[in-house]
Chains A and B, each alone.
Chain A
Amino acid sequence: MVNDSVKIGLEIHQQLATKKLFCSCDSDLRDEVLYRFERVLRPTQSELGEIDRAALEESAKKRKFIYEVTPNSCLVEADEEPPHELNRDALEIALKVALMLNAKIVDEIHVMRKIVIDGSNTSGFQRTALIAVDGYIETSFGRVRIPTICLEEEAARKIEERDNAVVYRLDRLGIPLIEISTAPDMKSGEEVREVAQTIGYILRATKRVRRGVGTIRQDINVSTGQGRVEIKGASRLNMVPKWVDNEIERQRTLAEIAELLKSRGAEVDRTIYDVTDMFSTTQSNIIKGILKKGGKVMAVKLKGFSGVLKSEKYRLGKELAERVRVIGIKGLFHSDELPAYGITDDEVSKVKEMLNLSAQDAFVLIAEKPDKAKEGLERVIERAENAIQGVPGETRAPKDDGTTVYLRPLPGGARMYPETDIPPIRIYESYVEKLKESLPPLPAVRVEELKNMGINEEIGWQLIKEGVDDIFEDIVKKYGYPTIVARALLNGCEYVDYHKIFQNLHAGKFAKEAVDEIVERVCNGEDIDSVISEYTSSVDVDAVIDRIIQEKKDLIYERGEYAFKPLMGLVMKQLRGKVDGGLVSRKLKEKLNMYIEKNK
């Protein structure tokens, strides 16, 4: 799959587990809604002092935003109070990440406002700051450059989209985000996966990133020499190679289609024809239904497109359908797939005749209310014209089956201007040097440390991936049992008090065989103390050992210290499964030595 014209870049957004970036609210998601308010956002005057009239009308018609206030949002999120100074805790984490990515930290950080008027920011702009440049990581495919690392505020969470309003919740607005953008240095899906994974490890190595669904988001930019396609929200690592490789394939096919269309001299007739009359007696239920509601059947003529819309190799018809589905049109039909859907051969012939089509020509029908049908066909015309040129730039959404679907055009160049409410932050060399000394170990180094604590490399990587390597180290250093601790952490869930379990195990309350069950039961919601007490053996270990020592006095007299092994067998016969063997062994050794000492 490696090809020189393939250029893939990655953009990763990771939420930080700190307070919010410009106020003192907590960074978590809440269901509790305390209050609602409504706002309108307006396009502002451009640098030239002009307002785009169309954009203004658009905003006047549709854009009402309803914001839900949560306990973790204050006047800052409501755009009712100026932002506080940039959160230094979040900045320090971001700077550490930048250093781990070998980037150069700028000497002074300036917060910018990036205009966003879809309502996801109450202010109408997102605050963002470029903190480091010129980083890179090494991968098994070679070096991948990371030109920019930014620290920015997360947008509000979209809850609902209504006809004339969008509902956003303010819990997420303002959570610090690190944005890491790579250069388009990658060539394949597998390489993108490795890069994403490596950056993910580095982010988690700080132990200060938020975990769980939606806390890390990835966008992948794929270009095969023509348009740039952004796959938005491609966050599932194991799906990344599929999404990328399918996109490369899609772009190649589109390039092939463009060659074919050019060679045929294909062109798009921009006229929109009303072909409703051809369907006056139609048996197609879809079309009948739409005509009954006052809809029309409209058509466009695509000269030279026959066989390109749908055949063994080509599926341009799907691309056309995607373009109109985003405005709610499902009834798009094209000549490569007809007759079908109750549309007869006769009707197809009549349309072809009316549009005066030759054998190489194709047509597209949309059955809808007249205005909507026209709007849809205008999109079809635009997309079909693009097809003659090659691959259009666009934003696509990833799907579970490994393919992607058209979402929207690429965002235009962002308008950015300085955030004057926040003073710039000077980053001195001495501070950077101090940060360099306190960097967490890179994942590859960390794995070696974990291996030395008594587990294998694979388990080590898993612990790092799950972000539980620190708690693993803590427990193992205190109580031992590396493999059991690792297994418990990897099988268990977040809210188990692992320290408590291993403290009790170490104290001999239960046998190590019980750990897995205890963890599982606590994960299922049972109370940790009562589960532990259930497993705690009622056997008095000391009494059992004392009794056996008394019974086997002769043996001890004969063998001295070497009586340990047979005695251990006898004790364990009674305690196996109830008490941890290590503990029994320690106690037996102690008591045996004491007995020998006394009876010398």
Chain B
Amino acid sequence: MHPEPGDYVEVRTKKGVFKGILMPRNRFSDENVVILKLDNGYNIGIVPEEIKIIKKGHFEKKSHKRDIPRRDYVPTISFIGTGGTIASYVDYRTGAVNPALTAEDLVFSVPEIVEECNVRASILFNILSEDMRPEYWIKIARKVKKELSHAAGVVIPHGTDTMSYTAAALSFMLPELSGPVVLVGAQRSSDRPSSDAYMNLLSAVKVAKTDLGEVAVVMHATTSDDYCHIHRGTRVRKMHTSRRDAFKSINTQPLGKVNKEVVFFQDYRKTGDETVLMDRMDEKVSLIYYYPGMDESTLESLLMDMHGAIIMGTGLGHVGTHLLPIIEKAVKDGTVVGVVTQCLYGRVNLNVYSTGRKLKAVGVIPLEDMLPEVAYIKLMWLLGNYDIDTAKSLLSKNLRGEISDRRMITW
């Protein structure tokens, strides 16, 4: 019989005889090495001369179906699983990080949720955050509309890498909402005792029970487990690779915060009677990061066949003057070109320097203090749902709180 992972085995090696459970191969491991979980719990890698099976075993994947009691005095919240750290768990024996198999698994890692709401849970898809694409945004938006006819609010656990993109996409695709749409993630997976998933998820549920008629992101506000911030879906950005408080509202204050209660810091759109869905997207839009040394042919190829482009310019919104003719040609050919700043903080202004004035003259649209990713998604959505002139005029108008006309010194 061939030894398989899960078998309790005796391994003869040059260094003596070892007994333990044979573990699955690790992709970083040397190919001559087998991994053994010893009786004391430790894993070691050893070079075997002979492996004898003492007892056959197997790793089973377990999923637990639980009955969730329904109560009338709490609202129903719908959970739409999409994948990501928050929705993954570790197989304690193999150490493999697996996607949560059911939405119940996810919800039940934070049992307090059941005290806050009746849970309606489903897994829409299970992808890595970095594999997100516009077609998935459309799926989510459609699912949200459907769920909001059954639930008071929607919570979407999401991978953090592209969570702010999804938040922006849903913000535009759902112009009117009958309930809050709350995206939430985790920077530490929920199999860890220190995971931020618990507080984030619980806070997200609390926000989903309010009258917020917008798409929001709820994540840790600080490195402490003290409170969460509520970020407007069109103003939020992941600003750190690994910290719990990676998500920040840019060029605005957060919408509010959550610890025991939800507190809003500023005005927000209230929930309406129905949910409106505008789910078309024109994917022929590019997001271009200008850098010193970018040559004409590079920019040309990035603009080729595009219906729209967002250029992340330097400072107030500039690109090298040698690129002006390329941009002028693209605009003349009908490409909608907007400019935002790689500074992220602050507003673009094409009136201050001559390059700015020239960009404006060739038809580039300055996009105020909009985040680059948000402008990119907004342009895809505008081109998908409106004619080109309307799209052009709406691009620099504030539709979902993505643009503000005042930025305060105290933020």
Footprint of B on A, CB under 8 Å? 37-49, 51, 53, 56, 75, 78-82, 104-110, 112, 114-115, 117, 122-125, 128-130, 133-134, 148, 150, 413-420, 423-424, 426
Contacts and interface: CB of A to CB of B under 8 A. Distances in A.
Contact of B41 (A82, A125, A414): A414
B211 interface: no
Contact of A420 (B89, B90, B193, B243): B90
Contact of A41 (B13, B26, B93, B194): B194
A430 to B, nearest CB: 13
Interface in B211-256: 222-226, 241-244
A109 to B, nearest CB: 7
B109 A148 contact: no
Nearest to B104: A49
15 contacts: A41-B193, A44-B109, A45-B191, A47-B93, A49-B108, A51-B111, A79-B194, A114-B41, A124-B193, A130-B44, A133-B15, A148-B42, A150-B42, A417-B91, A418-B95
B222 A37 contact: yes
B224 A39 contact: yes
B46 A107 contact: yes
A56 B44 contact: no
A130 B193 contact: no
A418 B94 contact: yes
Contact of A415 (B13, B26, B38, B92): B92
Contacts of B42: 110, 112, 128-130, 148, 150, 416
B44 A108 contact: yes
A122 B94 CA distance: 23
B97 A420 contact: yes
A524 to B, nearest CB: 44
Given A107-B46, A414-B41, A39 B225 contact: yes
Interface stretch (B29-37, B157-165, B314-322, B403-411): B29-37
Interface string B195-225: 1001100000000000000000000001111
A49 B193 contact: no
A340 to B, nearest CB: 47
Contacts of A110: 26, 35, 42-45
Interface in B100-150: 105, 108-109, 111
A426 B26 CA distance: 12
B73 interface: no
Contact of B44 (A48, A53, A109, A122): A109
B178 interface: no
B16 A420 contact: no
Contact of A426 (B33, B190, B194, B199): B33
A23 to B, nearest CB: 13
B111 A79 contact: no
Which of B43, B95, B105, B111 gathers the greatest number of chain A CB atoms within 10 Å? Answer: B43
Contacts, number: 147
Contacts of B30: 107-108, 426
B64 interface: yes
A37 B224 contact: yes
Given A40-B198, A108-B33, A130-B42, 18 more contacts: A37-B224, A42-B198, A44-B190, A45-B89, A47-B93, A51-B109, A53-B111, A75-B242, A75-B243, A79-B194, A107-B15, A107-B44, A110-B43, A130-B43, A133-B44, A418-B43, A424-B26, A424-B35
Nearest to B112: A60
Interface residues of B, number: 52
Nearest to A78: B223
A417 B44 contact: no
Contact of B223 (A40, A47, A80, A415): A80
Nearest to B64: A49
B287 interface: no
A79 B225 CA distance: 12
B90 A417 contact: yes
Nearest to A45: B109
Contact of A424 (B29, B41, B188, B198): B29
A426 B47 CA distance: 10
Among A41, A56, A128, chain B packs the most CB atoms within 10 A around the CB of A41
Contact of B105 (A49, A82, A112, A128): A49
Nearest to A49: B64
B16 A104 contact: yes
B193 A42 contact: yes
Given A38-B225, A418-B94, A424 B45 contact: yes
Nearest to B222: A37
A318 B217 CA distance: 58
A426 B64 CA distance: 38
Nearest to A147: B40
B62 interface: yes
Nearest to B187: A80
Contacts of B46: 106-108
Contact of B243 (A45, A80, A130): A80
Given A108-B30, A417-B92, A420-B95, A148 B40 contact: yes
A105 B241 CA distance: 36
Nearest to B191: A44
A107 B33 contact: yes
A416 B41 contact: yes
A426 B29 CA distance: 7
Contact of B242 (A80, A104, A109): A80
B2 interface: no
Contact of B45 (A82, A107, A414, A417): A107
Contacts of B45: 106-110, 424, 426
B194 A124 contact: yes
Contacts of A420: 90, 95-97
Contacts of A123: 192-194
B29 A44 contact: no
Interface in B40-90: 40-47, 62, 64, 89-90
Contacts of A78: 223
Contacts of A417: 90-93, 95
B194 A39 contact: yes
Nearest to A69: B223
Contact of B225 (A40, A46, A108, A134): A40
A43 B225 CA distance: 15
B238 to A, nearest CB: 14
Contacts of B224: 37-39
Nearest to A114: B41
A105 B62 CA distance: 35
Nearest to A81: B242
B313 to A, nearest CB: 31
Given A39-B224, A112-B42, A148-B40, A423 B194 contact: no
Contact of A124 (B16, B95, B192, B222): B192
A395 B29 CA distance: 38
A423 to B, nearest CB: 4
Contacts of A47: 91-93
A79 B90 contact: no
B16 A134 contact: yes
Given A75-B242, A80-B223, A104-B16, A423 B28 contact: yes
Contacts of A117: 193
Given A37-B222, A125-B193, A106 B95 contact: no
A46 B105 CA distance: 12
B310 to A, nearest CB: 31
A48 B62 contact: yes
Interface centre among A78, A105, A108, A414 (most CB of B within 10 A): A108
Nearest to A110: B43
Contact of B195 (A42, A51, A413): A42
A117 to B, nearest CB: 5
B63 to A, nearest CB: 8
B209 to A, nearest CB: 20
Contacts of B47: 107
B88 to A, nearest CB: 11
User: Which of B33, B93, B193: most chain A CB closer than 10 A?
Assistant: B193
A105 B44 CA distance: 10
Nearest to B46: A107
A112 B223 contact: no
